[in-house]
Structure 1
């Protein structure tokens, strides 16, 4: 971009640079002292972002930053340090990259962190320092435990007192730490399509939990403590190889805790259950051999993360329509004024 009048837009508050072929970010970017929102998805097609300009921390009013889909493989240390100096930053989107190591420093004002669709195998120890965090999105990574591999996060995760939305779908989780109960503000917890075999009884300590999605795991029973929660939605589909029927009280042989089980369910996990397709098949009398005709598929109920995305898309569309209407209205007023003057 270079030295251009573009950087004289000192009152700029929102900046979108998505879908470009930017080679670097010049230091003049700091001229936008009033900038609050900056998004540059898919903006570095021919060059990878290796560092932010030294003047970047001067954007002290920045509250929303999206570095989405720019093929980042790691978050350079310089970027991590720069981000930690943005004390008003509330939303950070690093999703849809190739990040395998996350170093974000301490951002005490951060409310929403999205690192979904990367290659993370664990979450950093510093995560416990994000004391204001309400939304943590880490779906579609390679995380196999919370937090084996970084040890102390078992204690730190319980410090996220304000966390309300935790999405860890489609990872490789085999267990959940009991400290998850320390997230006392947790409303929505999604861990679908992992490898969980049990839910810690301490989940009941997350007393504000209303939506719990554990579908597509390997659960054989549920903790009795789950019944103390005021759940409004509970997804248990595609866990056992047979449907869940009547539950009885029993003792988990591994933990010794009370659990809810079904004696009619085989204790052996069947991987085929993960590949089940719910469908109603109508056979055509005129074509008995064509199994693909007349099939009515049962679509899955959208889960909270998908509903949130759908809601945001609708809101953006509504804003665009309102802006278009306002523009048309202004044009009509100008045309009417011109006609009146001419007469």
Structure 2
């Protein structure tokens, strides 16, 4: 049943009579709640509630235990109830662009999750239980207020993409070295000065590393992870640096890119983005500014036009986040 892009403020109780429904698209409406009768739809697999006016996850959702995909992006949700643990069949959960300040331990019960997007919220911490979600391949935490990442992140050995850009991190746990399936590592716009010893050497499968807009003054050593080369510009300004991962990990001293925006050929080479650090604007300040520009919903509940009609799929938000690897002077809209 597809009802997206209407002006529906309330669903009738009769929706519960459609007991064979498998997909229910209610995105881009004005819903503030869902009827209890929806629990009769015991075959429901996909529920899309993006771009509505929900202040909480409707309690009836927790009784839809056959759900595998749940989109709640761009609502006004402030908390996630412990009942979330009942949705054990979820493989994809999107809570992006809400007002959530805490993600409780219930998330650890969702052991079948492969994609979790809680970006653009107000999270300061993650529960240790996140490490129970051992099937996660994509974890998007960008544009929050995270101060730390739990050591249990190292349990996520299937993790391919980890988005940490624009938070308040000063470090990441050494246990990330266990996530050997990762091909993207992005901590742009934090307050980091170094990486754990040996981390990059352990994550040899990385094709893209983005360290831009932090407080790094040196690059990690190719073997130990300790810093070995100071990143400076002859003029004293901080350059936007790009080197290939192969150069960083296999050569004694990475060669500085001759031209800004230069990319290596082929996925095996990958990319290393060092970019700006320090200066008039710290990583924390960058993160705060990015949040102001991109996070807050308008009064009407709408978002930026390109985001409002973007097709939701497990890779879309990564494409958006990585698009053009923004240069100093602005984020992509």
Q: Structure 2 length as normaliser, TM-score?
A: 0.66
Separation in structure 2 between the aligned mates of residue 114 and residue 91 of structure 1, nearest angstrom: 8
Give, in whole Å, the separation in 2 of the partners of 1:215 and 1:23: 39
Residue number in structure 2 paired with 1:172: 145
Question: How far apart, in 1, do the equivalents of 2:320 and 2:46 lie?
Answer: 17
Distance of 1:307 and 1:191 partners within structure 2: 11
2:80 pairs with one of 102, 107, 113: 102
**Contact persistence 1:241–1:270 (CA under 8 A):** no
The answer to whether the 8 Å contact 2:151/2:174 transfers is: yes
TM-score, with length taken from structure 1: 0.65
Residue 175 of structure 1 and its aligned partner are, at CA, apart by 1.3
Q: Deviations over 1:68-98 (max 9, x none)?
A: 11122222xxx33x22322221110111111
> Take 1:192 and 1:211, find their aligned partners in 2: how far apart are those partners?
12
- 5+ unaligned residues in a row in structure 2: which ranges? 233-276, 287-314, 322-333
Q: 1:213 aligns with which of 177, 186, 211?
A: 186
Unaligned runs of 5+ in 1: 1-14, 147-152, 250-257, 277-303, 311-343
SS in 2 for 1:222: coil
- Using a 3 Å threshold, how does the CA distance of structure 1 residues 120 and 180 change in structure 2: closer, same or farther? same
What secondary structure, in the 3-state scheme, does the structure 2 residue paired with 1:166 have?
strand
Determine if the alignment matches structure 1 residue 62 to structure 2 residue 44: yes
Where does residue 228 of structure 1 map in the other structure? 202
- 2:11 paired residue number: 25
Distance 2:216 2:176 in 1: 24
Higher RCO (C-alpha under 8 Å, 6+ residues apart): 2
Q: CA RMSD for the aligned pairs?
A: 2.6
Contact 1:189 1:212 in 2 (8 A): yes
Residues paired across the two proteins, number: 244
Partners of 2:150 and 2:9 lie apart in 1 by: 43
Which residue in 1 is equivalent to 2:239? none
Q: For residue 216 of structure 1, report the CA deviation from its aligned partner.
A: 1.5
Compared CA separation, residues 101 and 178, structure 1 to 2 (3 A): same
1:238 is aligned to: 213
Q: Which has the higher helix share?
A: 1
Q: Answer whether contact 1:159 1:182 (CA < 8 A) is retained.
A: yes
Q: Report which of the two structures shows the higher radius of gyration computed on alpha carbons.
A: 1
Find the partner of 2:32 among 23, 28, 49: 49
Task: Indicate the SS of the match to 1:60.
Answer: coil
Name the CA distance, whole Å, in 2 between partners of 1:130 and 1:26: 30
Find runs of 4+ consecutive structure 1 residues off by over 6 angstroms: none
